[in-house]
Amino acid sequence: MDRLPREAALAGCVVLTNREGAANFNEDVPLPSEFKFRTFDVEKIYTKLKECCTKHEEYAEKMNSYKQWILGQEKQMKDCVDKLINHVNARRILVQKIERYTKQSSTKGIKK
């Protein structure tokens, strides 16, 4: 469920979230702690929203590390997919070599 915050951050928004589920873990949602709320405290959230509006550039800048993390995940995913494709291709080539060897070995042993 972190697609919406990611898209919002990349669009230049300041992201506020709770600390439920994955958002509680910095490894999963590495936002500065001032943008994560432990409880649904309407007054604290309202105050932070007002601050985000009046100091938008300053607060949006605090999202830069989160945005870099998001963009880094795209490269990380591409690297993982490339490794998977290379691994599958290497295995496919190995299987083809084994099949050719097995076929050659079985035909050499047959007398005509």
Query: Is the model's pLDDT at 17 over the cut of 90?
Result: yes
pLDDT at 62: 97
The pTM score is 0.68
With cut-offs at 50, 70 and 90, classify the pLDDT of residue 104.
confident
pLDDT at 110: 56
What confidence tens digit (pLDDT) does each residue in 35-93 have?
A: 999 999 999 999 999 999 999 999 999 999 999 999 998 889 999 999 999 999 999 99
**Region 18-37: what's the mean pLDDT?**
93
Query: Is the model's pLDDT at 30 over the cut of 80?
Result: yes
Cα(37)–Cα(20) distance, integer angstroms: 9
Query: Is the model's pLDDT at 112 over the cut of 60?
Result: no
pLDDT at 109: 62
**Region 100-112: what's the mean pLDDT?**
75
